[in-house]
Amino acid sequence: MRSSRGFTLMEIMVVLVLIGILTSLAVLSAGGGPVQRLAEEAQRLAALIELHQQEAILSGQWRGLLCASDGYSFVSGDGQGGWQMVESDTALSQHSLPADLALNLWVDDRPVELGASGPPQVLLLASGELTAFVAVLRLRDSTDPNAPRYRVAGDTLGRLSLRELSP
């Protein structure tokens, strides 16, 4: 009888295939990096604005978008000129941006100084109209003029648009 030592070629090939499959799954589940996160955050912002715009119409109550450079939240008018946080799932009413992304806002073609308090910069009216705005999401520390940026904009008639800005 001959005693064999080591692995056969077939066993080694099976192990390599399994390692390749597991590596592929790990890479896919980890996400696509900052550029993909940037696109996802722009889509999330546009979808949340549209959601709250519809909520304002259905409830007959004004909503507002309050932006900061590192995130945003939605507030609701209390009928007496004040604003309060929207009472819903926190994921639908406030959102912090990942640390490597930043937000800039223009209202009526003027840049807005972003802070964490005060009245909302963008109003979502019960009639479906909203404050004309442009929000630009970008990579926070990028100095590359060709770095990706996404523009979420709304006009006074309540129409929203989302697009990637080209250099």
Domains of the chain: which residue ranges? 35-165
CB 138 within 8 A of CB 147: yes
Q: Residue 52: helix, strand or coil by DSSP?
A: helix
CB 136 within 8 A of CB 150: yes
CB 48 within 8 A of CB 95: yes
Q: In the prediction, which pLDDT does 4 show?
A: 67
Mean of pLDDT values over 33-48: 89
Exposure class string for 122-156: b at 16+ Cβ within 10 A, else e: bbbbbeebbbebbbbbbbeeeeeeeebbbbbbbee
Question: Does the 35-165 domain belong in CATH 3.55.40.10?
Answer: yes
Higher-pLDDT residue of 69, 61: 61
Mean of pLDDT values over 54-77: 89
Dist CA 93 CA 72 (whole Å)? 8
Q: How confident is the model at residue 36 (pLDDT cuts 50, 70, 90)?
A: confident
Across the chain, mean pLDDT equals: 85
pTM (2 d.p.): 0.76
Q: In the prediction, which pLDDT does 105 show?
A: 94
Dist CA 67 CA 72 (whole Å)? 4
Which tokens go with 133?
């705005």
